[in-house]
Amino acid sequence: MANIVLTTFNAKYIHAAFGLRYLMANLGPLQNQASIVEFDIKQRPADVVEVLVAHKPKIIGLGVYIWNATLSTEVVTMLKRVQPEIMVVVGGPEVSYEFQDQSIVRLADYVIAGEADFKFAELCQGLLEGARPPSKIIPAELPDLNRLILPYDFYDDKDIAHRVIYIEASRGCPFTCEFCLSSLDVPVRQFPIANFLAKLERLLDRGVTHFKFVDRTFNLNLNTSRAILDFFYERYRPGLFLHFEMIPDRLPEALREPIAKFPAGALQFEIGIQTFNDEVSHRIKRRQNYHKLAENFRFLREQTGVHIHADLIVGLPGETVESFGRGFDQLVALRPQEIQVGILKRLRGTPIVRHDAEWGMVYSDTPPYEILQNKSISFAEMQRMRRFARYWDLVANSGNFVETAPLLWKDSNSPFQAFLRFSDWLHSQVGRRDGIALIRLTELVFDFLTEQLSQDKFETAQILWRDYQRGGHSDKPSFLREHLTNAPEVVQRPLEIARLKRQSRHLNEV
């Protein structure tokens, strides 16, 4: 039983709700009256409500995000029908902006807009004492990070064994990219580094090996970045994996030196490029030096073991399929292990809406609010690009086709056009973007390479067989057997990152 239940829907079970742990850590004297109850988006609303009301709470605090907004609304609707006396407080980025017409806002008792670390505790204290604020919408001031209690002790042993551990050394972003909520979060604020590192030490001592930093600009403050890298390098152990979001054109020698010391696979950099089109970058107020960006990529690929996950966006105002394709080809040439092709989303509160009229931006009105069409890309072409993005993820990003994927564009001047041709063909064969079993996908890739591109069946089979084994499979697919006469078995080195199989397969690239 708990007077206060903190809850949310995570996108997957493996994710842990970082925000709930911050709220719990900063509840002060109310902490012993509260509990965290997490769900994932595959769970049914009625089952979730059953669990929540069984705690007999007076207050439910619900974190609302783009991936769970619809489900959260269903749950609050049901809660208010079966237990209307429970006070529901919602917060999170999805209800912090443009909340006037949201159903979940209408249903909830209170909405905290902004960073609720302190404001939630303040609201709960008043509600439990019988003091109800006159306004439903409660704006939260930016919390003083020097006073904020860090949440890392609220990762329990089960979290450490089975979930991603999220951490942050800073909040905010200095850039003003109009598609991103972080553009509203200025200035950048740093947590006191000594206390932060002490908490990391405790997590390491408890057995954490996978740390995902959520800082938007990890390499902005060089002193902090260097201190964190040095901290982890001095305590390195096999299996350590650190994920950082990086500014692509800022990698001075002070950071290059510690980065290069880490063994292959220990670091993953998520690098948001989004577009190589100067005109589009200027239009959405994104600043980046493409020459420096390319230089940094070459350093990372040639002199370090960093796993690079780079991002591009389809649908930005003024970006055509052709100009996106040229940028995609530039990025392929820089050789990141993964390219995430994202479809532009119209996040609540972001200033990207100022381009709606001029560029004919039409978005879905349900989460995740992806763009449907604009003046430059028709609905049919946007659908085609959605398929391209999904198939690229299944083939090029998955690590299942590390050697094979480049065969799709080896005889083309444009990897983008070559893969788009494959994407169109694949869709004509399967008619869907999801639910393609690996063995079926492998056969389809083989058929395309050998029948559509007329590549040698024996050579292609050898390469596909090596990739298939790289993923830990030993059963020879029937469609490859006749082409694998005297094919050697591949001796695989042990996966170095046990819970990150995709990255581990990329470590074995040739």
pLDDT in tens, 252-288: 999 999 999 999 999 999 999 999 999 999 999 998 9
Contact 139, 113 (CB under 8 A): yes
Contacts with 35 (C-beta within 8 Å, 6 or more apart), sequence order: 2, 4, 5, 6, 55
Cα 83 from chain centre: 35
For 418, residues 6+ apart whose C-beta sits below 8 A from its C-beta are 408, 409, 411, 412
Please provide the distance, in angstroms rounded to a whole number, between the alpha carbons at the two ends of the chain: 56
Give the span between the Cα atoms of 507 and 488, in whole angstroms: 20
Per DSSP, 111 falls in state E
Domain ranges in the chain with CATH number 3.40.50.280:
4-139
Specify the fold of 4-139: Rossmann fold (3.40.50)
Q: The domain 164-377 belongs to what CATH superfamily? A: tm_1862 like domain (3.80.30.20)
**The model's pTM:** 0.93
Confidence at residue 258, expressed as pLDDT on a 0 to 100 scale: 96
pLDDT of residue 495: 43
> For 31-68, what is each residue's pLDDT tens digit?
999 999 999 999 999 999 999 999 999 999 999 999 99
Specify the residue for token string 């480049």. Answer: 406
Cα separation, 348 vs 97, whole angstroms: 6
Q: CA–CA separation, 81 vs 46, rounded Å? A: 12
Q: Which part of the chain has CATH 3.80.30.20?
A: 164-377
Cis amide leading into 187 (omega within 30): yes
Measured in degrees and rounded to the nearest 5, phi and psi for residue 379 equal: -60, -45
| pLDDT tens across the length of the chain (510 residues) | 789 999 999 999 999 999 999 999 999 999 999 999 999 999 999 999 999 999 999 999 999 999 999 999 999 999 999 999 999 999 999 999 998 889 999 999 999 999 999 999 999 999 999 999 999 999 999 999 999 999 999 999 999 999 999 999 999 888 888 998 876 766 889 999 999 999 999 999 999 999 999 998 898 889 999 999 999 999 999 999 999 999 989 999 999 999 999 999 999 999 999 999 999 999 999 989 999 999 999 999 999 999 999 999 999 999 999 999 999 999 999 999 999 999 999 999 999 999 999 999 999 999 999 999 999 999 999 999 999 999 999 999 999 999 999 999 999 999 999 999 999 999 999 998 888 999 999 999 999 999 999 999 999 999 999 999 988 888 899 999 999 876 566 545 444 444 566 777 777 654
pLDDT at site 497: 44
* Nearest CA among 99, 134, 93 for reference residue 115: 93
Per-residue burial over 442-480, b = 16 or more CB atoms within 10 Å of its CB, e = otherwise: bbbbbebbbeebebeeeebbbbbbbbbbbbeeeeebeeb
Q: Within a 10 A sphere around the Cβ of 235, how many other Cβ atoms?
A: 12
